[in-house]
């Protein structure tokens, strides 16, 4: 019998001039992945997202954290390779890297300087302290949800 693993899947609410957010749209599809129990969490785009996110990690005790966010200036899906400690993070290394990358998907070395970077940093920090993996996927505004699913499924099968 194969043990079911737990996935914490996060996305963000719309922000600024964006009336929607494809990461929220993906969570609302209620995706299922073979061998994974999925717990979804929609995060606000403000400082309360940190407490909510850390509370979900403690509650869910995930084996894998997969966070999604909008990168409105990008044209294709990209997986972030690292996150930097922003001014809102009190401790930890200046930069954390993720081993969860895919050759088939565009790699980004810049998670930005907004909440996406900070949530990814917290996920990578949790991965240092707990037995879990973490990845962050940035989505363009006009992404097809089936493409998001395909990348997420490939990532989970490759690194889960």
Q: What global pTM score does this model have?
A: 0.95
In terms of Cβ atoms closer than 10 Å to its own Cβ (0-12, 13-18, 19+), residue 6 is middle
Domain 5-159 has CATH 3.30.230.80: no
CA dihedral of residues 86, 90, 91, 97 (deg, nearest 10)? -30
Read off the pLDDT of residues 16-73 as tens digits, 9 standing for 90 and up.
Answer: 888 899 999 999 999 999 999 999 999 999 999 999 999 999 999 999 999 999 999 9
CA pair distance 56, 72, nearest whole angstrom = 26
Bridge-based pairing state of the strands 5-12 and 36-43:
parallel
Domain borders along the chain are 5-159
Phi, psi angles (nearest 5°) of residue 133: -115, 160
HSE-CB at 68 with a 13 A cutoff on CA atoms is 30
């Amino acid at each position: 019998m194969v043990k079911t693993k737990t996935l914490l899947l996060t996305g963000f609410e719309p922000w600024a001039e964006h009336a929607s957010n494809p990461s929220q749209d993906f969570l609302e599809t209620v995706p299922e992945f073979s061998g994974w129990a999925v717990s979804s969490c929609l995060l606000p785009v403000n400082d309360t997202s940190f407490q909510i996110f850390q509370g979900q990690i403690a509650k869910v005790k995930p084996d894998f954290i997969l966070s999604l966010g909008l990168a409105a200036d990008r044209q294709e899906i990209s997986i972030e390779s690292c996150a930097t400690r922003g001014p809102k993070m009190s401790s930890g290394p200046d930069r954390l890297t993720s081993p969860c990358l895919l050759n088939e998907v565009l790699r980004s070395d810049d998670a930005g300087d907004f909440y996406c970077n900070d949530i990814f940093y917290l996920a990578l920090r949790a991965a240092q302290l707990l037995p879990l993996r973490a990845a962050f996927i940035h989505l363009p505004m006009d992404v097809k949800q089936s493409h998001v699913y395909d990348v997420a499924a490939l990532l989970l099968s490759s690194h889960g």
